[in-house]
Structure 1
């Protein structure tokens, strides 16, 4: 089997989101918060629509698919943000489309948690002056794990960082950081975020890693 990492197209986004849903399942509490009902058909349809919209409206975003070149099957996905030429993105107030959540309380919680989750990333983007490669999501269909798929998806972003001569960063799951360390990322610290109030027991936990620029 030969794995190739390619930029995803609009037609791929249903499969792209399905892979992320299958991979994260209910093991990452924040995935359930950010992508409500992602385990159901309607939730997956809306998730794919959201990713498709992001692909077409955010010039910094690249969705990547890991494909078995023999069968054409998409086995994994990643979402990279590419910042170059001293271009800082708009990091103002986070706004979600309300109809993805069942009520205002869930919308407010998702919005607040997102703001906390991206603080480390936004600080790195600002510190770089708009010259950074950031990995937002990486997921592999459980049927295709341990076949080198994740490595190909990481390499796509590190190659881009090397091409631009910039650092790369990632919020990794606590248990998944070994994959990134194999590709030159250095562990910096563990992060735990929560929103004070009735849902403060729902926490986001990740390892923050940085790959120094090579040029």
Structure 2
């Protein structure tokens, strides 16, 4: 039986984030965001509150229908509703940390959040902050299925999708029609991440087919015209 995409429910949170933490266990950013390890009980409680109150968030799961196991996850944020209040809310820093740990995490997160706000904060758009596939299921189509779910919504609404890429994800995003922004850039300094060199975070946008080959830069220059028909 095939892999299938379904809405992720509150009862799935622990299994969904089992996938997330396994997929990113060797990424330096995980140690920066959770320098003393992840208290999974607290994480589940906080995520339960978030999923229960976030009016923009649509978490989904990829399920192996042979085993029933959750093997992939994504959290899509949809900012499509009319009204000035329907904008991306800047979280304002790593509020769960203190002291030097927070300073280090903020050096990673704040530039990302500020760039998102600068590019899209007051415009209708779709944002993909999180996508992960269990290592045992990578390169088996789960990532594409998770992406296609959000792309289908974006196409229906005539909205661009924005995300911050990682090195391993670049080829998938490019294959799914995303372009790297050339006028905006985020660099994570080596002294912050603990890497041997500075790391660029590619900023990716997929314009809807209704944009008729208009780039994000052109769309912004024209004042973010509505592409919904």
Residue equivalent to 1:176: 169
Partner residue in 2 for 1:12: 12
Contact 1:117 1:193 in 2 (8 A): no
Following superposition, the deviation at residue 16 of structure 1 comes to: 1.2
Q: Residues 36 and 56 from structure 1, CA distance in 2 versus in 1: closer, same or farther, beyond 3 angstroms?
A: farther
Cα displacement (A) at 1:66: 0.4
Change (3 A) 1:5 1:182: same
Deviation at 1:104, TM superposition (A): 2.5
CA gap 1:122/1:16 in 2 versus in 1, 3 angstroms:
same
Question: Is 1:152 the equivalent of 2:148?
Answer: no
Q: Is the 8 A contact 1:30 1:204 kept in 2?
A: no
CA-CA distance at 1:200 after TM superposition: 6.7
Kindly tell me the number of residue pairs found equivalent between the two proteins.
Answer: 203
Aligned in 2, Cα 1:57/1:207: closer, same or farther, shift over 3 Å?
Answer: same
Aligned partner of 2:133 in structure 1 is 140
Q: Is 1:107 aligned to residue 83 of structure 2?
A: no
Displacement of 1:11 = 0.9
Distance of 2:201 and 2:59 partners within structure 1: 21
Gaps of 5+ in 2: 211-229
8 Å contact from structure 2 (residues 144, 172) kept in 1: yes
Q: Secondary structure at the match of 1:133?
A: strand
Q: Max radius of gyration: which structure?
A: 2
2:66 is aligned, of 66, 70, 74, to 70
1:118 positional shift: 2.1
Decide which of 182, 188, 196 is 2:181's aligned counterpart. Answer: 188
Which is strand-richer, 1 or 2?
1
Deviation of 1:95 (Å) = 5.6
State the partner residue of 2:223: none
Match of 2:216 in 1: none
Q: Can you list the C-alpha shifts for 1:106-146, whole angstroms capped at 9, x where unaligned?
A: 133323431112233222323xx331011111111111112
Q: 1:43: which partner in 2? A: 39
1:63–1:80 CA contact under 8 A, matched in 2: yes
In structure 2, do the counterparts of structure 1 residues 89 and 118 end up closer, same or farther at CA, with 3 Å as the change threshold?
Answer: closer
Length-normalised TM-score, structure 1: 0.83
Compute the displacement of 1:17 (Å). 1.2
Q: CA deviation at 1:89?
A: 3.0
- TM norm structure 2: 0.78
> What secondary structure sits across from 1:31 in the alignment?
helix
Which residue matches 1:166?
159
Considering only aligned residues, what root-mean-square deviation do their CA atoms show, in Å? 2.4
